Structure 1
Amino acid sequence: MKNKVVVVGGGMVGAAMALKLAKQGAQVTVLERHLIDAQEVLANAQIDIRVSAINRFSESLLDELGAMPLLRDSRIAPYHQLEAYEQPNNTLLFDREEVSQTHLGHLIENKLIQASLWAQFTEHSIEVEQVKSAPVALEQNIDSITLHYEDKAYQADLIIAADGGRSQIRQLAGIGVTGWQYQQACMGILIKLDAPQQYKTWQQFKPSGPIAFLPMQAPYANLIWYQDGAKLASLQSFSNEQLKEQILEHFFELPGDFTVEQKALFPLARQHANQYSQGRLVLVGDAAHTINPLAGQGVNLGFKDVAALAECLEPLEDMGSTQALKAYERKRRGDNLAMMSMMDACYFGFSNEVAPLKLLRNGVLKIADQAGPLKRKVLEHAMGW
């Protein structure tokens, strides 16, 4: 059986991919530049400013991989409601009760998701090797694929590139991308609230860019602020106290008083690989598609890639089967493209002050909130079902 797999990149999606295939019997090696001690990360009280809105599909995958129980014992925050609006009198509100669920998803720190997955590696005999330099060559033949670094080569039946939006493996393979940089940037701001646990995450669309509130485990929350890159760059130089004054001018629905704990700038880009596979190489997660983080769907799309690729590979004697890798792309390309386009429609549709469009979009939100079965379908899609 040809089942030797090398996963390049041990982030959230790469780690999940490694575990999923190891559970299916593959011999898996993970190559990662920055090694972590999973137990140390899980025990660390330091809050990570990078968070993900994990939907119910992703939660089920993390449960299957043994990660979710560790996360439930760590810092985790369920959210019960999702709200989007431009004007307070025209809101689109999704509630757990509309789908008879206890919650819609969880807000979890990225480092905790990664660590909870890494904690399962030993049990499933996954090898982890640190690579300190960039790969220099990728060599393929009918029976195998070899990834070369300056000091070592890794031969496998399948190589999975999970090394992010700037994937070096994708570039080595000569796989191009289409996409663009957005004109705005995004600032994440970790705050400590003087308020009880919050269960609603919301986004408000403004001409200068959207803002969002992501409730983490009390007393923390994450604010997302889209704005002109130069404006955010100047805000980054502010003291925490000065930044708080700016937040109070732009964020109107924060519960209680707060202090600013951390801040970080994140670039905004959309890109889509022209193909998801080449021979015995396949792309997953951000290496295949980078989405506007407006609704926090990036990692959820990556986890859907994991499930789809594993499903296509499960019955095979040869995990590097070109036919299976092409089937995976057919499963995922359309869904990924649809989500990317929907996020762009929201981003561009609400990022201007053209009067007719402003009237139309607020009317759409109001109608959508009263759409009954259609609204339920949209909510189920957001949950990953």
Structure 2
Amino acid sequence: MNHTQDADVIIVGAGIAGSGLACALARYNLRILLLEKRRRLGSIHRGDSLVPKNTALLAKWGILEAFIQAGAEPITHMELHHHRHGRIYRAPLLAGSSPYLVLPHAKIEKTLLEQALATGKVNLVQPAKALNLIHRDQLAIGGIRYQDEQGTHEVYAPIVVGADGHKSIIREQIGVEVDAYHYDHAYFGLEAQRPTHYENAMRVQLHPEGGVLLMPRPDRVGVGMLVAANSSNYWLKLPDAELTQILVSRAPILEGMPLYREGSHVYSLVRSHAKRYWLEGAVIIGDAAHTTNPTAGQGMAMALSDAGALAEQIGPVLAAGETTLTNALTQYGQQQWSVNQKLVRSSHRLALVYAKRGPFWHRLKTTGIKLLANPLAVSLTRPVIASFLESA
């Protein structure tokens, strides 16, 4: 049965991947329906890195300046510090022309959504709960049924995009399997007042009980502390004085700095990758398709890269008035799956090393880092780091 098309693209989820895709597709003068189940976008402390391959995309979409205006902080170096002996490693992060920017996750989501809506091509329904996909025949998806405050609705489009997170209803309904690996560690995210002698850098404080990552804010620093899995209740209920003592023991630079615990969150970590990304008429991107350990800072990077790659494939086809996207989705699935699989694996390997705790592993990691700190080693590793951050 044929239905009037309500949009050219329906996107389920207005997070990083969904709003990013809306920004990318709006360039093709398409009608985009964006469904978001949350009444308000998130405020917890999660990934905040806009790596160079992502800022290159934002510039291509014409919205990079909006992130700078929102307060994004540039970083150019990575530093590793021993908890007692100070800095033991420093290396540049950049090789190309695109900047590495840091902005709180909630502000990235907010800015992406604002820029998508500013195009005039995006219709946002919020809150809206996706109920089920609508099949146009036995093999293809033709639309979606959703519920908002006015009731239940059916909408139709050539493509439904699931950007609805790691518990994706779209992934489930197109029958895509995903294997999950649960890590034995987690990250506790919060903020602290910015120390006067902290310089903008990806700064890792090494400690036998687990490292602490510091990232810049205008007047604060974002703090990500390695903790044990399933320890959320302990850390979130810990009194400020005890938490401060633990943080300062791992990251002495935070001594005397007040903590800001609003939005603090213990981030459970899972590695997963869907076996495939699409069924005729529907496709998944971002966390709906893959989750990765954040140690390498690639989760949000992969979500935005998915958005850019998918828009490049389906945007021109839809703009030409075509509604059959089989070839475009095949190309997207083949190319992006391989790219993402490589990133999932490399992030996993790095995470396993970083998460090793105890005196033995601390000494081993410290020794290895000191060997890498000589100028020759830094020059040899710089292209590797740049490739990881700048390649699609």
* Shift in Å, 1:235: 2.4
Which residue of the partner structure matches residue 110 of structure 1?
Answer: 105
TM-score normalized by the length of structure 2? 0.84
Which residue of the partner structure matches residue 185 of structure 1?
Answer: 186
Cα distance in structure 2, aligned partners of 1:358 and 1:265: 23
Cα distance in structure 2, aligned partners of 1:381 and 1:36: 36
1:257 paired to 2:256: yes
* Match 1:54 to one of 43, 50, 54: 50
CA distance 1:171–1:206, change in 2 (3 Å): farther
Deviations 1:300-327 (A, max 9, x none): 1111111111222243243551221121
Deviations 1:327-367 (A, max 9, x none): 11222112212222122212223444699977775565455
**Equivalent pair of 1:216/1:222 in contact (CA under 8 Å):** yes
Cα distance in structure 2, aligned partners of 1:359 and 1:237: 31
Which residue of the partner structure matches residue 338 of structure 1?
Answer: 342
Cα distance in structure 1, aligned partners of 2:269 and 2:141: 36
Cα distance in structure 2, aligned partners of 1:196 and 1:353: 28
CA distance 1:359–1:333, change in 2 (3 Å): farther
Cα distance in structure 2, aligned partners of 1:10 and 1:147: 16
Deviations 1:235-268 (A, max 9, x none): 21122233111211222344x6310111221111
* Match 1:377 to one of 366, 383, 390: 383
- Structure 2 SS opposite 1:264: strand
Cα distance in structure 2, aligned partners of 1:332 and 1:363: 37
Which letter maps to 2:243? Answer: L
Which residue of the partner structure matches residue 153 of structure 1?
Answer: 154
Q: Give structure 1 stretches of 5+ with no counterpart.
A: 42-46
- Structure 2 SS opposite 1:99: coil
- Structure 1 SS opposite 2:390: coil
* Match 1:10 to one of 14, 23, 27: 14
1:76 paired to 2:72: yes
Cα distance in structure 2, aligned partners of 1:85 and 1:178: 35
- Structure 2 SS opposite 1:183: strand
CA distance 1:36–1:352, change in 2 (3 Å): closer
**Equivalent pair of 2:79/2:203 in contact (CA under 8 Å):** yes
**Equivalent pair of 2:298/2:347 in contact (CA under 8 Å):** no
Which letter maps to 2:384? Answer: V
Matches within 5 A, 1:10-49: 10-35=14-39, 49=45
Which residue of the partner structure matches residue 312 of structure 2?
Answer: 311
* Match 2:331 to one of 318, 323, 327: 327
**Equivalent pair of 2:211/2:250 in contact (CA under 8 Å):** no
Cα distance in structure 1, aligned partners of 2:185 and 2:127: 33
Cα distance in structure 2, aligned partners of 1:242 and 1:360: 29
How high is the sequence identity, in percent, across the aligned residues? 20
Which residue of the partner structure matches residue 224 of structure 2?
Answer: 224
Which letter maps to 1:258? Answer: M
**Equivalent pair of 1:162/1:285 in contact (CA under 8 Å):** yes
Cα distance in structure 2, aligned partners of 1:100 and 1:31: 36
* Shift in Å, 1:182: 1.0
Cα distance in structure 2, aligned partners of 1:268 and 1:159: 28
CA distance 1:325–1:34, change in 2 (3 Å): same
Which letter maps to 2:100? Answer: G
**Equivalent pair of 1:48/1:109 in contact (CA under 8 Å):** no
CA distance 1:24–1:337, change in 2 (3 Å): same
Which letter maps to 1:105? Answer: Y
Cα distance in structure 2, aligned partners of 1:302 and 1:212: 22
CA distance 1:362–1:305, change in 2 (3 Å): same
Q: Which has the larger displacement, 132-141 or 159-168?
A: 132-141
Q: Which has the larger displacement, 315-324 or 8-17?
A: 315-324
**Aligned residues between the structures:** 372
Cα distance in structure 2, aligned partners of 1:191 and 1:85: 18
Deviations 1:40-98 (A, max 9, x none): x9xxxxx86345111122112223334322222222211121134778699553215x7
Q: Give structure 2 stretches of 5+ with no counterpart.
A: none
**Equivalent pair of 1:104/1:383 in contact (CA under 8 Å):** no
Cα distance in structure 1, aligned partners of 2:331 and 2:252: 47
